[in-house]
Each structure stands twice: as C-alpha cells, then as structure tokens.
Amino acid sequence: MYKRILLKLSGESLMGSVSYGIDPQRLNEYALEIKSVVEMGVEVAVVIGGGNIYRGLQGVGKGMDRVQGDYMGMMATVINSMALQSELEKIGVPTAHLGGLAIDPICKKMSRRQAIEKLKKGKVVIISGGTGNPFFTTDTASALRAIEIEADVILKGTRVDGIYTADPEKDPTATKYDTLTFSEVYEKKLQIMDLTAFTLCRENNLAVLVFNMNEIGNLQKVLKGEMKGTLVKD
C-alpha cells in the first residue's frame, strides 16, 4: 500500500450534477473518500483544478490576456481548495492549505518542508494555485508537488476506471490498459496529462495511477489493491 499519495482531482469533477460551480453532494462524497484513506494511515496531499469555475485558456479564446487568464484560473483552484478544506474539517479531518500563491489569511505559500511536516502529523495537505506561474497547468502542478513532497504515486481521479485505447464514453469497442510505460503513453499519444507534467513524472520515476474517483469506495479500493485502474510507470 502507498504510504504517501498526491490525489489529483479535476475542477469539472466537482460540478457533479450541476452545470457550473460546486455540487455539495459530490464535494461531500470526495471528502468522505479522502477521510476513509486517512483513517487507513495514508498521508494525503490534494491538488484540484479550477475548470468548473474558470479556465485560463477559455479566456484566451475570447481575447483575454494569457497571463491574466492563467492567474484567474489559479484563483479558481483556490476557491475549490477552500471548499474541500471546509468539507473535510466539517467531517473531522484535519487539513492544511498551502498555495502556489500566498493569500493571507487563506493559505500560506507552498513550502516543501511545511507540507511534509503537516503530512506526517496526519493532516490532509491541499495545495492550490497551481505552480504559482502562468503557462503551467494543474497537471504540471500535481507532478511538481508530488515530487516535492516525495509522494509514492500520483492518483489521478477521473470519470472512467483507467486509460483506454479510445474514449470509452464515446467508443464501446475501447479496451482498457492495466499498465503502461511512459514510452508507450508517448508513442500511443494517450492524453493522460500535458507533456510538461508527463516529463516531470518520467524524469523523477514517479508513477501515475488513473482510476474512477466518482464511484464511492474506489479510492480506498485502489490503495488496498482491490481496484486496478491503469498504472503508468517505467
């Protein structure tokens, strides 16, 4: 079982059954999933995207300055992180909120030393604000933060139970991969994360496990080895 994980969640996943923003039921489900693995003794860091509120690239498509748009997207991740922090603490899970952007009094600047210290104390460390720099995605932020905190794996929660030969929601003939190497992902042009994030993981020998986060109990099953997902490593 992994001792320390970085859980990557998309902002869109927080929408659940609503068309914009945060679905309270989905937020509660995610918090309970995280609580269940914390109670197993797993140290958990979380990075959440902001696509349910704002994506920098969407703004660029409408004439927004790229740098300004990316910072707006980072602020969206802060909102999502605050929501998850509130939900976790409501159900009795201690947390710490650090960020690529320091926002007093919401979150302190991300510090590797502080993050590891808080993880060892049993707190869920939520890291918002991406890398704190424009032109980088939350996928890249996830890879960077996972390497910084010496996580054993990135668990990438999605709507499907792993990586397929094609989009299984559109192609019923798509077949699932149980394991892949980074080279195979690159050669097959499989869209797991952006190339910068992918390269960071590969160069630092950091495995990525893709699984379905939207089925209750799956996070715990992944950590117990009862649910496979797709594991990417060299």
Average predicted confidence (pLDDT) for the chain: 94
Q: What is the pLDDT of residues 161-183, one digit of tens each?
A: 999 998 888 898 999 999 999 99
| Contact residues for 65 (Cβ-Cβ < 8 A; gap 6+) | none
pTM as predicted: 0.95
Q: Is the pLDDT of residue 114 over 90?
A: yes
Q: How many domains does the chain have?
A: 1
Q: What is the pLDDT of residues 24-65, one digit of tens each?
A: 999 999 999 999 999 999 999 999 999 999 976 676 677 889
Enumerate the H helices of 39-135 as residue ranges. Answer: 56-61, 66-90, 112-120
CATH code: domain of residue 100: 3.40.1160.10
Q: Is the pLDDT of residue 137 over 80?
A: yes
**How far apart are the C-alpha atoms of 230 and 162, rounded to whole Å?**
5
Q: Could you identify the residue written with the tokens 């003939």?
A: 173
Cα distances from 202 to residues 107, 139, 188, 196, in angstroms, run 30, 14, 16, 10
Look at residues 157, 154, 168 and name the one whose alpha carbon lies nearest to residue 218.
157
Q: Which DSSP category does 55 fall into? A: -
Taking a C-beta distance cutoff of 8 angstroms, is the pair 142, 152 a contact?
Answer: no
pLDDT at residue 57, rounded to an integer = 65
Percent of the chain with pLDDT over 90: 85
Structural domain boundaries, residue 65: 4-232
Q: What is the pLDDT of residues 183-225, one digit of tens each?
A: 999 899 888 899 999 999 999 999 999 999 999 999 999 999 8
Q: Left, alpha or beta for 58 (phi > 0: left; psi -120 to 50: alpha)? A: alpha
